[in-house]
A = this chain, B = another copy of it.
Amino acid sequence: MKISEAARALESLGNETRLGIFRTLVRAGLDGLPVGRLQQRLGIPGSTLSHHIGNLVSCKLVTQKREGRVLRCTVNYTKMNALVAYLVKECCQDAGGC
């Protein structure tokens, strides 16, 4: 993972509203949640919510799939795990290991 890609994802999660959306989706698991359900749970105006979800999708932390009238959002666990791994990798390498 490139540093610019990691920074982009961390920046996305570094907004309290987006982190709230993301954490709600993490708890929801593999099935995810429709946008409207997120709106119910979080109480955010639709345009604001859509803007933040778009941000999470654009850096691939969240994926979306249309199901009729509903857009279902799901955490991209592969991306999440890669991001977590990026933060800690090569730890203490310049000092000869932890």
Interface residues in chain A, defined as those with a beta carbon under 8 Å from any beta carbon in chain B: 3-4, 6-16, 19-20, 23, 26-31, 80-81, 83-84, 87-88, 90-96, 98
Contacts and interface: CB of A to CB of B under 8 A. Distances in A.
Nearest to A81: B88
Given A13-B10, A14-B7, A28 B94 contact: yes
A81 B10 CA distance: 15
Contacts of A29: 91-96, 98
Given A11-B11, A29-B95, 16 more contacts: A7-B15, A7-B16, A7-B19, A10-B10, A10-B11, A10-B19, A23-B90, A26-B87, A27-B92, A28-B92, A29-B91, A29-B96, A30-B95, A30-B98, A81-B88, A84-B88
